[in-house]
Structures are given as structure tokens and as C-alpha cells.
């Protein structure tokens, strides 16, 4: 794909993102409750002070002006103040983001590493015991509620067996000076094997809980597309050429079979964001998902709005990325 085409596709995102921000803005316009009253809580203040606050927050402007203000602020990552944290909203979000990114990446890697070999083996040995186990397990995997499964894992592996920590991201003793803010990476970069190990142990259960539904979906996608590909003429033709079994499987079948898997994975990464809220809450994971849940309980509207916008933009970008990936893997599709 040429750079020009890539930029063209990138520019096409602008109307989508504009639409997303309009929706988020309208949502907050119709959210019940007066933001100023919520912000003030139980404090009693004079009417002038209240009006001044309202003016400060731009709430006295007509909607379209408020929207442009919202948009221009959003472009500079200015989402106002989170009074609950007494910090700018974006600073709060940014401080929680690395934990979420680390967990999501771990879940993505887990899902891919489990689902691709499993899906391929299930397809190659269709109707075998392994295939049946994979099919049933993946059915459970998509339908198990994350909070329930997470708690089950905690009870068994942490509470009963003491193999893994119950919650949190890392112990105090394994703090390392941040570089990338991803603990696994930073601890390695700083040469702290103990901290790496500690971070990894904390990561295991939330990763499995978060990644399981995705792993299940991807196993089914991989199995189905592999079955389809294995029946194609080009596989028979590859056999007729006298190529080895592994070559046929890895080179001729897998590359084609992975096109849907990779595309679905990129799209499903967006849904990891939603799963994060549940999993981070269950495992006390200090990420964005838990922050959003906390913010909902305390009605921290500015933060929720910013987070919703952030999720939406991320989702759009992931879909864009999935598109690009699909075209790169599939020479027949031209942008």
C-alpha cells in the first residue's frame, strides 16, 4: 500500500471521529443533573458563585458554541478538571492508561498464542477429541461472565492454593523507576528480574480472565477459516506439487486462514476495553477501566465523558488498523 493511499484512508477517519465526538457531546448535553450542582455536592454557596462557576465551565453558552469549545478543548486533551481527584481529567486518565495498556496487550497476546495453534489443530484433526474439547471450551469461554470467572480464578489460584496474588498490579517492594510505564518492560530494562517476576505473577489471572472470551472467539474463527482453506483447490495443488505436510500447512494454509483471525483480533481488541472495566474491578487493577467504574459511582461526569470519547476514538482507530492489516495480508484487496 502506498503512503498516499494510507494518508487518504487516514483523512477519511476525520468525519467518523467528528461524528463520534458529536454523539459524546450530545450524550453529555442530555445527561440528567446539573454539573455544577453535582460538583458542589453538599456545599452551599451563593447564587453568584454558582453562576460564575457555570460561566467558567462554559455552561451558559448556546449548545453549538459549547460543542466547538468541547471539540477544541478535546483536541488539546483538555477535558476540564476532575474535582474528585483535584487534577486535570486527562492527567488522571493518563496516569491510569499504562496499566490498562499492559493488561490489554497481555490479554491480546494470550488470546493469539492460545487460539491460533488450537484453532489450527482443531481444524487439521477435525472431529477428534481435541477438536471437540476446543469447541466446547470456546463455547464456555465466550459465555462465561468475566466477573464470575475472575472470582473463581482468585478463589482457586490465589486464596486456596496461594500460587498467585489476589489483586493489584505489583507489590511495593518491586517498584521500578518508570521508562515505558509498562511494568514487565521497565523491570526488564532496569534489570530487575524479581520485579519482572512479581509483575508477571500479578498479571496472569487478570490476563486469562480478560483474554478468554477473545481467545474463544479467535479459536472458532481460526478453526472455521482453516477448515475452509484446507478444502481449497490450492491446497490439493500444493499437495500435487509434492510439498511437505508442514510446508502446506504453514505456508499455504495458515497465511490465508489467518486473514480473518487477524482482522477479527484487531476489531475484538476494542472489546477488550469494555472487558477491562469488569476485570480491573475484580482484580483491583489500577487501570482506566476501574477508574471509569469508580467515576460512575461518584458521578465524575467530566472524566466519564473524556473516557467515553477516548474509548470511541480507540475503537475507531483499531477498526482502521484492522482494515489496513487486512489489505496488507490479502494481496487481492486494493485500497
Partner 1 sequence: MNDAVLRIRDLKTCFDTRDGMVTAVDGVSLSLGRGECLGVVGESGSGKSVTFASVMGLVKKPGFIAKGSINFEGRELVGLDPKNYRKLRGKEIAMTMQDAQTALNPAYTVSNQIIEVLLAHDETLSGSRKAQRRQARQQALEMLQLVGIPSAETRLDDYPHQFSGGMRQRVMIAIALACKPKLLIADEPTTALDVTIQAQVLELIADIRDKLGMSVILITHDLGVVAEYCDNVVVMYAGQVVENGPTGAVIATPQHPYTQGLLRSIPRLSDLSRRIEPIKGTVPELIDLPDQCRFMDRCTRAQASCRDLIAMQDCGAGRQVRCIAPGLAGGSDV
Q: Which is nearer to partner 1, 132 or 255 (CB)?
A: 255
Other C-beta atoms lying within 10 Å of the C-beta of residue 226? 26
Q: Per DSSP, what are the bridge partners of residue 103?
A: none
Q: Which stretch binds partner 1 (CB under 8 A): 30-38, 182-190, 276-284, 327-335?
A: 327-335
Among 12, 51, 65, 244, binds partner 1 (CB under 8 A): 244
In the bound state with partner 1, the residue whose beta carbon lies nearer, of 293 and 324, is 324
Binding status of residue 5 toward partner 1 by CB under 8 A:
no
Q: Is 81 helix (H, G, I), strand (E, B) or coil?
A: strand
Options 104, 222, 256, 276; binder of partner 1; rule CB under 8 A: 256
What span, in angstroms and rounded, lies between the C-alpha atoms of 91 and 315?
21
Exposed e or buried b for every residue in 293-312, given b needs 16+ CB within 10 A? ebbeeeebbbbbbbbbbbbb
* Pick 6 or 237: Cβ nearer partner 1: 237
> Is 209 within 8 Å of 276 (Cβ atoms)?
no
Q: Does 75 bind partner 1 (CB under 8 A)?
A: no
Q: Are 308 and 143 in contact (CB under 8 A)?
A: no
Binding flag, residue 4, partner 1 (CB under 8 A): no
Q: Based on the shown chain and the rule CB under 8 A, indicate whether residue 240 belongs to the binding site for partner 1.
A: yes
Print the binding letters for residues 190-229 with partner 1: x by CB under 8 A, - otherwise: ----------------------------------------
Q: Is 252 in the site for partner 1 (CB under 8 A)?
A: yes
Smallest CA-to-CA distance from 110 within 327, 288, 268 is with 268
Smaller CB distance to partner 1: residue 55 or 241? 241
Question: Does residue number 180 form part of the binding site for partner 1 (CB under 8 A)?
Answer: no
User: Is residue 125 near partner 1 by the rule CB under 8 A?
Assistant: no
Q: What is the nearest approach in angstroms of partner 1 to the Cβ of residue 256?
A: 5
The count of residues interacting with partner 1 (CB under 8 A) is: 21
Please report whether residue 242 would count as binding partner 1 according to CB under 8 A. Answer: yes
Grid coordinates of 96: 491510569
Q: Applying CB under 8 A, which of residues 195, 238, 249, 306 lies at the interface with partner 1?
A: 238
**Which among 129, 208, 115 has a CA at the least distance from the CA of 164?**
208
Q: Is 42 in the site for partner 1 (CB under 8 A)?
A: no
Rounded to the nearest 10 degrees, what angle do helices 255-282 and 193-230 cross at? 140
Given the rule CB under 8 A, which of 84-92, 186-194, 234-242, 268-276 is the region that contacts partner 1? Answer: 234-242
Question: Shortest Cβ distance from residue 103 to partner 1 (Å)?
Answer: 33
The residue from 237, 250, 274, 328 that contacts partner 1 (CB under 8 A) is: 237
If one asks whether residue 37 binds partner 1 (CB under 8 A), the answer comes out as no
| Three-state secondary structure call for residue 88 | strand
Cα-Cα-Cα-Cα dihedral sign, residues 160, 165, 167, 173: positive
Query: Which spans in the chain are helix H?
Result: 3-29, 35-40, 47-56, 63-75, 89-124, 129-143, 146-153, 183-189, 193-230, 233-240, 245-247, 255-282, 288-297, 301-329
**Residue 1 binds to partner 1 (criterion: CB under 8 A):** no
Nearer to partner 1, 185 or 238 (CB): 238
Burial class of 15 by CB neighbour count within 10 A (0 to 12, 13 to 18, 19+):
exposed
**Under rule CB under 8 A, residue 236 binds partner 1:** yes
**Which residues are near partner 1 by CB under 8 A?**
232-234, 236-244, 247, 251-252, 255-256, 329-332
Amino acid at each position: 500500500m502506498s503512503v498516499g493511499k494510507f494518508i487518504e484512508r487516514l483523512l477519511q477517519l476525520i468525519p467518523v471521529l467528528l461524528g463520534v465526538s458529536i454523539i459524546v457531546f450530545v450524550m453529555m448535553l442530555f445527561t440528567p443533573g446539573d454539573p455544577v450542582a453535582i460538583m458542589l455536592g453538599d456545599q452551599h454557596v451563593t447564587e453568584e458563585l454558582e453562576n460564575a462557576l457555570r460561566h467558567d465551565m462554559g455552561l451558559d453558552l448556546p449548545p453549538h458554541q459549547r460543542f466547538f469549545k468541547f471539540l477544541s478543548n478535546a483536541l488539546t486533551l483538555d477535558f476540564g478538571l476532575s474535582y474528585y481527584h483535584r487534577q486535570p481529567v486527562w492527567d488522571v486518565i493518563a496516569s491510569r492508561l499504562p496499566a490498562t495498556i499492559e493488561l490489554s496487550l497481555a490479554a491480546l497476546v494470550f488470546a493469539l498464542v492460545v487460539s491460533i495453534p488450537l484453532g489450527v489443530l482443531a481444524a487439521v484433526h477435525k472431529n477428534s477429541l481435541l477438536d471437540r474439547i476446543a469447541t466446547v471450551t470456546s463455547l464456555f469461554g465466550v459465555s462465561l461472565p468475566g466477573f464470575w470467572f475472575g472470582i473463581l480464578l482468585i478463589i482457586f489460584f490465589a486464596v486456596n492454593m496461594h500460587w498467585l496474588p489476589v489483586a493489584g498490579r505489583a507489590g511495593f517492594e518491586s517498584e521500578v523507576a518508570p521508562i515505558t510505564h509498562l511494568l514487565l518492560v521497565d523491570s526488564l530494562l532496569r534489570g530487575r528480574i524479581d520485579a519482572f517476576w512479581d509483575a508477571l505473577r500479578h498479571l496472569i489471572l487478570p490476563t486469562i480472565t480478560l483474554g478468554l472470551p477473545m481467545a474463544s472467539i479467535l479459536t472458532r474463527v481460526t478453526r472455521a477459516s482453516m477448515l475452509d482453506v484446507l478444502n481449497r483447490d490450492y491446497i490439493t495443488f500444493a499437495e500435487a506439487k509434492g510439498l511437505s505436510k508442514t510446508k502446506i500447512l504453514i505456508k499455504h494454509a495458515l497465511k490465508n486462514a489467518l486473514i480473518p483471525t487477524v482482522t477479527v483480533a484487531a476489531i475484538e481488541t476494542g472489546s477488550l476495553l469494555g472487558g477491562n472495566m469488569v476485570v480491573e474491578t475484580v482484580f483491583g487493577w489500577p487501570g482506566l477501566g476501574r477508574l471509569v467504574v469508580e467515576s460512575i459511582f461518584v458521578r465524575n461526569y467530566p472524566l466519564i465523558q473524556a473516557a467515553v470519547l477516548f474509548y470511541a476514538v480507540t475503537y475507531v482507530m483499531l477498526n482502521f488498523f484492522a482494515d489496513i492489516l487486512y489489505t496488507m495480508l490479502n494481496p487481492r484487496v486494493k485500497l
